[in-house]
Structure 1
């Protein structure tokens, strides 16, 4: 199991430049990938996207590729020939204007700076291999963090699944008593109303039978037990879990709602409320799972 929240970073050098790649993600139902990289490397975007998809199938993932020049690259940007040519043009201009030309250190500095040669930025072709290698390292760190987060979520899910199971078993143990309790309450109300009816009276038996049929939650409990088994097996499986888990939780929610509407009993009603609360917590957490 992997969380959809993660971060990974890796650095390397490329032709006198420093390459830094960061990968981060938050939860999202589908894979929403954005890539920030130098304009000169725009052609690398498809390869970057393909590599990211090997590590992430869900989540809002952002890849940031930053390139900066190091000190040695900056010092190597002087273009002495261009600066000398510019200085010679200034000398000729001054002579044509009848002005004595005596270059000062300040003037030399200004001319040299104006003729700095920008460091040659690596081409996309030259950058592809270093970018892929560095991105792979960043993605491995990113995936490791998501796996660690996933382990914590796994522990929490197992604990909550067990709590859900206990609540359902509470309902299962209480459900057979509901018709008997209803029968006693019915007879009590009839007696209080001055209507003495025999327990074997056909009308009483029919009413109790109809009530027992309406409040029978045997099928719902059976399906819930099956859903819990499926959920536990899914949590322990490899690959994508999130979407399948969301479907199972949706089915669990339907069964719980049905029990709540059918079971006319205070103890079961309380258990249903707790089931819904616990189920909502699981749903919130499963939204963070890939």
Structure 2
């Protein structure tokens, strides 16, 4: 089972006359690269949120957004009634002593502008409220994880197809093995005839040199290792956990064997097959980068 690192999850809830909306988006990244945006009122919970996301989503370029919409009018600014009364009484007494006349409306207006008449109270975060918000965050994470699983199914089909294409191309190499040996033998023989003459060729030495070159161009080990790596790639694809990094490492090993096969091929048709293999492998590498 593989998962894509690309995903989107959203969840909403209503808590204490607030509509809470959580959105999480993720893209591919080698490490966990996280951006968290939430109202300052909840900032004290940022570290637990980051820890939760890291634990559940593991890695990727992750963007977390927590939105809050008030469903009823709420105010954190309150009138300091005792201070208001004190200002009002003292000002009224002063004006009476000075024989200055003023209306109650004017006096109220003046008092309303006095320092600390209005006080702003920062309410504490209700833990019960946060428990509900945390549930909403987990729902959004689950939604994103399901998105990743669905994307992973598409990746599984694509990568399985590409690996099977490489295996099929490798099977085509078999038909040219005998032809390659014959070509090598004829080329060496012709070079010797041109260099020393056919009558001067030491057949025993010729056989020794022929064995040397046949071993040099032999690709049996490369084909065996390439087959093993492809089978291991498919096995990892279908494992119980998503292992994107391991798939990346295996694809590198597949690339090494394909390159060696190409360098030892010494045959035009095999070179064409190798080019096709490399094309399939590049597509595998591109897709593997997006696997969790």
Which category of TM-score, normalised to the shorter sequence, fits these structures?
Answer: 0.7 to 0.9
Q: Could you say what secondary structure the match of 2:269 adopts?
A: helix
Instruction: Provide the residue aligned with 1:277 in structure 2.
Output: 279
1: CA distance between counterparts of 2:150 and 2:229?
Answer: 26
Tell me the alpha carbon deviations over residues 227-251 of structure 1, each in whole angstroms, 9 at most, x when there is no partner. Answer: 1111111111121310111111111
Instruction: Provide the residue aligned with 1:65 in structure 2.
Output: 66
Residues 130-141 of structure 1 mapped to structure 2, 5 A cutoff: 130-141=132-143
Instruction: Provide the residue aligned with 1:242 in structure 2.
Output: 244
| Contact 1:44–1:124, Cα closer than 8 Å, also in 2 | no
2: CA distance between counterparts of 1:117 and 1:20?
Answer: 30
Q: Could you say what secondary structure the match of 2:240 adopts?
A: coil
| Contact 2:76–2:122, Cα closer than 8 Å, also in 1 | no
Tell me the alpha carbon deviations over residues 129-182 of structure 1, each in whole angstroms, 9 at most, x when there is no partner. Answer: 012100011011111111111111111011101111111112233234312111
1: CA distance between counterparts of 2:68 and 2:118?
Answer: 20
Report the CA distance shift for 1:268/1:122 in structure 2 as closer, same or farther (over 3 A).
farther
| Contact 1:43–1:124, Cα closer than 8 Å, also in 2 | no
Q: Could you say what secondary structure the match of 1:137 adopts?
A: helix
| Contact 1:199–1:205, Cα closer than 8 Å, also in 2 | no
Question: Is 1:101 the counterpart of 2:142 in the alignment?
Answer: no
Query: Unaligned regions of 5+ residues in structure 1, if any?
Result: none
Aligned length: 283
2: CA distance between counterparts of 1:171 and 1:90?
Answer: 103
Question: Is 1:207 the counterpart of 2:202 in the alignment?
Answer: no
Question: Is 1:150 the counterpart of 2:152 in the alignment?
Answer: yes
Report the CA distance shift for 1:121/1:221 in structure 2 as closer, same or farther (over 3 A).
farther
Report the CA distance shift for 1:269/1:116 in structure 2 as closer, same or farther (over 3 A).
farther
Structure 1 stretch 222-231 or stretch 33-42: which is displaced more?
A: 33-42
Q: TM-score, normalised by structure 2?
A: 0.82
Query: Unaligned regions of 5+ residues in structure 2, if any?
Result: none
Tell me the alpha carbon deviations over residues 187-219 of structure 1, each in whole angstroms, 9 at most, x when there is no partner. Answer: 345556683259982233223211111111111
Instruction: Provide the residue aligned with 1:224 in structure 2.
Output: 226
Report the CA distance shift for 1:90/1:276 in structure 2 as closer, same or farther (over 3 A).
farther
